[in-house]
Each structure stands twice: as C-alpha cells, then as structure tokens.
Structure 1
Amino acid sequence: MARIEVALPNRLFLKLLLAFWITTSLIVGSVILIPKVLQPQDLQPLKSWQQEFLLKAARRLETLPIRDLDRFADMMRHRIHPAEDKGKRPPGPGMGPLRDDRFRFHLLTLDGRPLGHEAKRLPRAARRFLLENEALTPMAFYSIRSVIFGPEPLTLNGQPTLLLVEMKASHSRSWILYLQENPLMFVLLVALVSGVIFGLVAWHFGRPLNALRLTALQLGHGDLDARVEPRILARRDEVGQLARSFDTMAHSVSTLVREQQRLISDISHELRTPLTRIQLALALAKRKGQASNELTRLEQQAAQMEGMIQELLQLSRLNSQVTDTKQRLNLGDTLERVIDGAAFEAEQAGKRLEVTLPQGLTLNGCETLLQRAVENLLRNAIRYGNQQIRLSAWRRGERLNLRVEDDGPGVPPEQLEAIFKPFHRVSKARDRQSGGWGLGLAIVQGAVTAHQGQIRAEIGVLGGLCVTLTLPIE
C-alpha cells in the first residue's frame, strides 16, 4: 500500500499568515471597537452650569416677540461665525445667555426636526447628537470644536419647541475621537500600520533572498568558492533551508568543475609522455637517414597533437584563474608584447596589421588572461585573413571594447554563436590542414567570462570575422 504523508504548514506559510492575520485583526478591531470606545466619551450628562444656561436661555427666548418662527430659528442658528473661538468656560455672572457670542441656538420640533428655512445646514456635531440621542434626553455631546447640550423644552409663538445649544470650545480629546471625525486620517493610519507590518515581513524575507541572489551571480560568474553567509544558513525557516540547499549545490558544482579541470589536465599531461617519445623516435630516425614522406607526415601529426594538448592545458587552467586577484592594467602596456609578436607573424605571412589603441585606456583585470585572449584572436585573424587585420579599442561608459577583425572568408551567420564552443570547427573555410583544433576561441570566451565581460562575433566591415570583447573597467 502506498504511504501517504501529510505535509504540515511550513514556517514561511505561518509567518505570512500571521502577518496578514495581525493586520486584518487590527483593521477590523479598530472598526468595531472605536464606536464602542467613543460612545461613553461623546455623550455625557449635563453639568450644572449647562442646565442653568439652558433654563435661562429658554426663559429669555420665551419673552421675545416672534412673528416668523422659522426665520427666527435661522437667525439664532447663525449668531456665531465658525472661525470664532474664545475658549471653554461657562458664561460669567451678569452676562445674559443671549449676549455671549460663543453660543449658537438650534430650535427643534418635539420629534427632533430642526426648524427654519435652512434646516439642512445643521452643523455636523448637532446632527450626530440627534442621531446618537434619539430619545432626546438632556445630554452633552463633545466634539473637537464644540459642545452640544440640551434639549430644553420651551414655547415660542404658542408652539411647543426644543432648544439645543452649541458652544464653541476647544478641549483635549482622545486621538480615537479625532480619527472617527476624520476618516481620511483613519485610512492613512491603517495604511501606515499595515505598511510597517508587511514592510518588516518583506525585509525579513527579502534581505536574505537578495544575498542569496548575489551569491548565485558570483557563482555564475565563475567564482566557485562563493557561498551563502553563515547568518542566513543559521535561519530555521524555509529561507535557511533554501540557503543550505544552495550551498550543497554550489559545493557539488564546484567539486565537479574542479574534478573536470583536473581530469583534462591529467589527461593532457599523460598524453604528453608518449607524444614526447614519438617525437624523439622520429628525430632519431631522421638522424639515421631514414627520412621519408611517411615520417614527415607523422612528425606533422605529432606537432598538431602537441598543439592540441597545449590548448587543452590552457583551457583547463583558465577556469582556475577566474578568481585570481585582478590588478589595474594599462591596455597598451599589457598588449605591447602580444601586438609586436602578431605584427611580426603578419609581416612574415605578407599581411598587414593595423592597430588603433588610444592612450590611457585602463581596466581591472588579469594580465595573463587578457594577453592570451587577444593573442588567440590575432593569430586566428592572421591565419584566415587575406591581406588586412585590424585591432582597435575604445571606451564607452564604464566598459572597454576590444575588436579584432579580418578580411578573410568569414563564418556562416548560423555558426557565429557556436564558434566559441570547444572543438567547434567551421568545415568549409577552416579545415584541419590550416591548423587549430577549435579551442582558441573557447579560450578567448573563457578569459572574457573570467573578467565578467561579453563576447560577440559578427561579419565585419572588412568582410571577414569580427570579434568584439566588452570588458568592465572596474
């Protein structure tokens, strides 16, 4: 019977779930609890001075001659400009209730409807008072800018009426009340809290993942010793598991690559021993006067095999030099010996080498690898070019470009990307009789990769192969 395993939720899942749950709980809890917290603070019993003020104001209003009750209600409602504010204090003795400009008076019907032609312009604090005090019980309602207290029954122009007083007053209130009266600020606070929570979660996971990405880039650029930081490996969540798995993979890749390099190097060395004996036997045979066409052909094949072994050794050692300490190089000084040797070879072959190297071009790199790459390109161009070979260099931004081109038969467009693969040969123009085993351009690509650069092959303006190296200056 097949065994069924039930996977438990992992730590990463639980952390994300917890962050979402906490944020959602805060938002929902705030929406539910704020009205409950506000209720006992907004509506409070009347204070003694408020009760006295209501009685005096009602009795004073009842003595006034009123012709139009609605117009009178509008007049009493607009006695104070909203910008006025003279602090919180009850009216002093000797001041009549209608002479204090801190107060506005709202007249209502017995069922709570405001009187007046502009009844819809009732202040928001008054509307909230009527909404939360449906029974019209004498209470005081505190908002940020005013206090509403009442109602007090009175009779105006023979009609039963209720009096509601609005007092302009600034007083300290809970920040929760402020958020309730300013929904935009409440939304911004919720966004801020949720942003901080999820920002911490993103930082908690994003920082180690970014470090892991940088380590992967280092490994991809040829640094076989690149490993994840110990603090990330010590994590007990899925990120730590990923880091440990990555380190295991990096160790395996590093071991395989080094074993491959060692194998190629060992094979090359082992092949050199019998090859040296063959060359020695051929030399002795020639010395004894046994020269023949067959011996000459064997000698040529032995020389070609020695060249192939030499290139294999260079290719195997190339990757081991990737992590060599780079130094500041002057391009002209670094390539001087290579250019002199290539110019001599081109002259012996009846060809012309043109060199354009501006003064002062510098870069951080490995001198040996750079010399080997340019030397292989120049020899390749001299071998297959007809009359003209051109070497040029220039700087573009933070990159240095090196280009070698010739006027030879070139390479078919469909093979331009494949010529940098080891042992790849272009069958028509570059046969074995012309020399080479398809390792020269592979060595060039390895040297460029070691410098974290790029290489591109195309058909040049001279009609032959054009290879451009793009290397970082720093």
Structure 2
Amino acid sequence: MIDDNDMTSAKDSPLDFAFVLASSVHDMKNSLGMLLNTLATMMEKSPPQDDEQTKTYAILEYEAARINSELIQLLSLYRMQHEHLLVQIDEHHVIDVLEEQLARNDMLLRTRGIQLEVDCDEDLSWYFDGELVGGVINNILVNCARYCRNTLQVSAKIIDNELCIAVADDGQGYPPSMLAAPHEINAGVSFSSGSTNLGLLFAHRVAGLHRSREQHGHIQLANQGPLGGGVFQLWLP
C-alpha cells in the first residue's frame, strides 16, 4: 500500500529541469552528429551537379553545423554553471588547433565557395584548453560562413604578452547590438533576428576561464577589420 505522505512527497519534489534539459540536449547532440556524418558522406558520394544543388547542400550543412555547435555550447555552459567542467590548460601549437577547426568545417566552407586565409606562425605555441578554445573558433567559423561574402581570414599572434586569435570576414560587419554584447553579456535575445547571443556568452565564459596572475582572457568584436567586414578576437593571457 502506498502511503499518502509518500504520494505528497513525490508530487512536491522539485523537478531539476536544467538536468532534464541537459540530458535531452546530449541525446540531440549525438543524433545530430550522426546526421552531420551522414550528410558529409552523401555530399562526397554525390557532389552537387549545379548551382541550385550547391546552394541546397550549403544550407543543409550550415544549419546542421550551427545547431550542433549551439547544443555543444549549451552543454558546456551547463557544466560550467554546475562546476562539472574541468579546464585542462596545456601547451598547444596554435596552428594545430586552427587547422583542426578549419578541417572540421571544410565541407561547409567549400560548398559556400569561401576562400580561407590563415596567418599563424607554425612555431607559435601557448597554454590554453584546446577543446574549449577550439569550440569557440568552430562557432565563429560557422557563423562567419553565413555572413561573409567570399573570404575568411584566421590569424593568431602574440600582442603585449597575450595570444590574440582573430577571425575576420568580408561581410557587412557586426550589428551594434552584437558589438555591445561582450560588454553587456546578459543583453538577452532578439526575436526579430533570432539571436540569443549564446555563442558570445560561450566565448566570453571560455575566455574568462583562462587566467594568469591578475590577467584573464576576454573577447572583442569590431568592424572594419582587415577584410573590410567584422572581426572577432579571442585574447588569452
């Protein structure tokens, strides 16, 4: 026989919605990863035959990559908030991290006809979490692939004892609301554009996890970059 007190306790016990959501996001991420792999295989075996098919493939690849990136960011932010995310700072050759993300988005960039410029000394190394920083770069590449016209530039260099990783495009630049976002990271969502600023929040949090003495990482957005459009900068101490 079930005690009435037990039933009342079950009804009153709070639902950890954040945990349920995180579990669901994890499952969706795995399924979407399989979809991305299948899509890449399909495009390799059946290349686009005309401009219309190329455009269709590009849209499919972009949307799937964007959703997958956002799901990974959601999971990472959840783990950051609940202190389950271990930051693994190690020395990395920066060019290896950049090329890994470029290879990851090779099909997306090729189907959209985007040319790449990479400016990074092959001997440049720095201490940071390669997975988290790679995730930030991946997200920026996916977003820039949509808004640039023809060219993306990825660069890395040391400026004033900080590593600056930059992604510049030849698009129309960032809107004013996004330029303010790194300084107003809780600016909220835009229902007109569909922007949640999730990518910037993720980049902001990842940058902040990198500290050296009194310095900590940060991000910057600007327009009129080296290609005439917007430029995203990730600064790591």
Q: Secondary structure at the match of 2:206?
A: helix
Alpha-carbon distance, 1:321 to partner: 6.5
RMSD: 3.4
- Alignment partner of 2:20 out of 256, 263, 266: 266
Contact 1:423/1:439 (<8 A) preserved: no
Q: Does 1:457 find its partner at 2:216?
A: no
Give the equivalent residue in structure 1 for 2:132.
369
Q: Does 1:470 align with 2:235?
A: yes
Partners of 1:445 and 1:455 within 8 A in 2:
yes
- SS of the equivalent of 1:334 reads helix
Q: Say which SS state the counterpart of residue 105 (structure 2) adopts.
A: helix
| 2:79 counterpart of 1:317 | yes
C-alpha displacement of 1:315: 2.1
Q: Which of residues 159, 172, 175 is equivalent to 1:396?
A: 159
Identity %: 24
When residues 272 and 454 of structure 1 are mapped into structure 2, their CA distance, relative to the original with a 3 A threshold, is closer
Alpha-carbon spacing, 1:312–1:354, altered in 2? closer, same or farther (3 Å): same
Give the structure 2 partner of residue 438 of structure 1.
197
Return the alpha-carbon distance in structure 2 between the equivalents of residues 305 and 343 of structure 1: 14
- The count of aligned residue pairs is 180
Query: 1 or 2 for the larger relative contact order (CA 8 Å, sep ≥6)?
Result: 2
Select the residue among 105, 108, 112 that pairs with 1:345.
Answer: 108
Shift of 1:413: 3.2
With structure 2 as the length reference, what TM-score do the two structures score? 0.63
How is 1:272-287 mapped onto 2 (pairs within 5 angstroms)? none
Residue in 1 that maps onto 2:142: 379
Q: State how far apart, in whole Å, the 2-side matches of 1:349 and 1:309 are.
A: 23
Q: Distance in 1 between matches of 2:86 and 2:207?
A: 13
Letter in 1 for 2:207: V
Encode CA deviations 1:3-45: one digit per residue, 9 max, x unaligned. Answer: xxxxxxxxxxxxxxxxxxxxxxxxxxxxxxxxxxxxxxxxxxx
Q: 1:368 to 1:263 in 2, by over 3 A?
A: farther
The amino acid across from 2:233 in the alignment is T
Structure 1: stretches of 5+ with no match in the other structure? 1-261, 277-302
Cα deviation for residue 329 of structure 1 reads 1.3
Contact 1:331 1:361 in 2 (8 A): yes
The 2-side partners of 1:273 and 1:374 are apart by 23
Which residue does 1:225 correspond to in 2?
none
2:171 to 408, 411, 419: 408
Matches of 1:401 and 1:309 in 2, distance apart? Answer: 26
Q: Deviations over 1:216-236 (max 9, x none)?
A: xxxxxxxxxxxxxxxxxxxxx
Identify the range of structure 1 (405-414 vs 450-459) with the bigger mean alpha-carbon deviation.
Answer: 405-414
- Tell me the SS of whatever aligns to 2:231: strand
Report the CA distance between 1:384 and its aligned residue.
1.3
SS in 1 for 2:77: helix
8 Å CA contact retained: 2:223, 2:230: yes
Which is greater in Rg?
A: 1
Check whether the contact 1:389–1:405 (CA below 8 A) recurs between aligned residues: yes
Question: Relative to 1, partners in 2 of residues 1:321 and 1:464: Cα closer, same or farther, differing over 3 Å?
Answer: farther
Q: Counterparts of 1:455 and 1:383 in 2: how far apart (Å)? A: 21
Structure 2 vs 1, CA of residues 310 and 399 (structure 1 numbering), >3 Å: closer, same or farther? closer
Conservation of the 8 A alpha-carbon contact between 1:395 and 1:401: yes
Structure 2 vs 1, CA of residues 422 and 347 (structure 1 numbering), >3 Å: closer, same or farther? Answer: farther
Paired amino acid for 2:104: G
Unaligned runs of 5+ in 2: 1-15, 31-63, 211-215
Secondary structure of the structure 2 residue equivalent to 1:443: helix
Deviation for aligned residue 1:338: 0.7
Judging changes above 3 Å, is the alpha-carbon distance between structure 1 residues 376 and 271 closer, same or farther for their aligned structure 2 residues?
closer
2:232 partner letter: V
Is the Cα–Cα contact under 8 Å of residues 387 and 407 in structure 1 kept in the other structure?
yes
Q: Partners in 1 of 2:113 and 2:90 — Cα distance?
A: 37
Q: C-alpha separation between the residues in 2 aligned to 1:304 and 1:471? A: 26
Letter aligned with residue 111 of structure 2: Q
Q: Residue by residue, what CA displacement relative to the aligned partner does 1:180-224 show, whole Å, maximum 9, x if unpaired? A: xxxxxxxxxxxxxxxxxxxxxxxxxxxxxxxxxxxxxxxxxxxxx
8 Å contact 2:181–2:197 — kept in the other structure?
no
Partners of 1:412 and 1:424 lie apart in 2 by 15
